Amino acid sequence: MSKREHWGSKVGFVLAASGSAIGLGNIWKFPYIAGENGGAAFVFVYLICIAVIGLPVLMAEILIGRTTQRNPVGAFRKLSGKPFWTFVGGMGVVAGFVILSYYAVVAGWTIGYLVEAIKGVFNNFSSAADAETHFNNLVGNVSWMMGYYTLFFVLTMAVVYMGVKNGIERGSKIMMPVLFFILIILVIRGVTLPGAEAGLSFIFNPNWDKITGQSILIALGHAFFTLSLGMGAMMTYGSYLSKKDSIPGSSLQILTLDTLIAILAGVAIFTAVFAMGQDPAAGPGLIFHSIPFVFASMPGGYVFAILFFILLALAALTSAISLLEVITAYFVDELKWARHKVVISMGTVVFLVGIPSALSYNVLSDFHIFGLTFFDLADYISANILLPLGGAQSCCLCRLDMGN
C-alpha cells in the first residue's frame, strides 16, 4: 500500500482546515440567520455554542483522524472494532455527498454572480426589487444554473485530483490569504460609509426578545456547519497530520479564524446594507438580492462587487474541496482505489445527485418532499440532523477510546 500523504507544514494544515471551515456558512448563511434571529443576541448565543460545543468536537475529530490515520469509516472501525461505529463513519461519507450536492448549487451562483459583476450588470438596478427579479431570472434559467454548477464541480475536482499536498494545501495557501485580504478591504469600505453605525449596532447591540428555543437550535446547528463538524471533514484533514503535531493549538487557531471571518463578513455586509437602507433580515437572498443592489448604489461599487463575489467563490471552493476529500479518502483507504479514479467517478456521482437541487429553482420548483424542495431538504437534513448527530457520536467514540 502506498504511504499516506501528510501536510507539508502545520500552517498548511491550519489554512486548509480553516479553508474548510470558512465557507458559504460564514459569508452567506451566518449574516442572514443572525439577521433573522435578533442580530447581536444571536451572535452571542452562537459564540457560546462555538466555545462550549464547537471546540471540543473539533479537537475530538482532529484527534481521531490523527490517531487512526484513516478516513471516518476506517477511523471508527479502528478505534471501536464494532460495526455500529463503522456505520456512523459511513453516515459522515453520506453527509459529504448530501452537503456537496446542494452546496455546489449556491457555489455555482457565486461564480455566475462574479461574471455578472464583471459585466457591470448591477449598475442597471434602480431598486432591490430589480436585483431580486434578476436573481429569479438567472436561477430560473436552466442552462445558467447547470453551467456554473458544472464549472464549480470541475474546479473542486481539479484541486482534489492533485492530492493533499500539491492540491489542497497549495490551493489553500494561495486562496486563504487572498480571501482575508479582500474581506479586510470590504470591511474598511463598509465602516467608512455614511450611516454604517446602524449596521454596527445591529451586530453588536443585542435584541434579546428574538432569542427562542428555535434560534438556539439554529445557532447550535450552525456551529457544527461552520466548523465543518459532524461528517468527518476535520477528521479526514486530521488524518494527514503526523503524530507529533499538537491539536489544541491548531484547533484554537482554526476556530478563531472561522469566527473572526464570520463576524467580519457580518460587519462588511450589514454596514453596507444599513447604509443603503436595505432590510437586514432578507433571508437566504440577502447576498444575492440586497448586496448587488447595495453595491450598485455605493461609490466604487463596481470593484467592490467583483471583490465580494471573488471572496464568496474562494470561500465556497476551499470548503467544497474538503467535502470531496472525505469521500475520496474513504474510497482510497477502504477500497484501495487510486485517487484520480475516485475523484473522477465519485465527483461525477455527487454531481448527478445534486442535479435535482440545482433544478429546485426552476424545473423542479413545484416538487416538494415534506413541504421542502430538494435543495431545502438537503440543507435541512445535513445541517439539522446529520451533522449534530455525527458530531455527538464522534465525541462518544473519543470518550470510549480515552477510556481504554
Per CB under 6 A, does 269 bind ligand PHE?
Answer: no
With CB under 6 A as the contact rule, the residue among 14, 43, 99, 397 that binds ligand PHE is 99
* Interacting positions 26-65 with ligand PHE (CB under 6 A): 26
Q: Which is nearer to ligand PHE, 228 or 357 (CB)?
A: 228
Residues 6+ positions from 389 with CB-CB distance below 8 Å: 91, 230
Asked if 330 and 72 count as a contact pair (C-beta separation under 8 A), the reply is: yes
- The stretch near ligand PHE (CB under 6 A) out of 1-9, 24-32, 150-158, 269-277 is 24-32
Residue 344 C-beta: closest distance to ligand PHE, Å = 21
- Among 372, 388, 59, 392, which residue's Cα sits nearest to residue 221? 388
- Quickly count: other Cβ atoms within 10 Å of residue 184's Cβ: 12
Residue 168 C-beta: closest distance to ligand PHE, Å = 13
With CB under 6 A as the contact rule, the residue among 12, 19, 23, 280 that binds ligand PHE is 23
Asked if 55 and 255 count as a contact pair (C-beta separation under 8 A), the reply is: yes
How far is the C-alpha of 254 from the C-alpha of 294, rounded, in Å?
31
Asked if 261 and 22 count as a contact pair (C-beta separation under 8 A), the reply is: yes
With CB under 6 A as the contact rule, the residue among 172, 250, 322, 393 that binds ligand PHE is 322
Per CB under 6 A, does 319 bind ligand PHE?
Answer: yes
Count the helix, strand and coil residues of the chain and give each as a percent rounded to the nearest 5: 80, 0, 20
Return the amino acid letter for 397: L
Binding mask 141-180 for ligand PHE (x = CB under 6 A): ----------------------------------------
Q: Which is nearer to ligand PHE, 20 or 357 (CB)?
A: 20
Binding mask 215-244 for ligand PHE (x = CB under 6 A): ----------xx-x--x-x-----------
Half-sphere exposure of 20 (CA within 13 A, CB side): 35
Residue 323 C-beta: closest distance to ligand PHE, Å = 5
Instruction: Give, to the nearest 10 degrees, the angle between helix 55-68 and helix 72-80.
Output: 80
Using CB under 6 A, list all residues that contact ligand PHE.
20-21, 23-26, 99, 225-226, 228, 231, 233, 319, 322-323
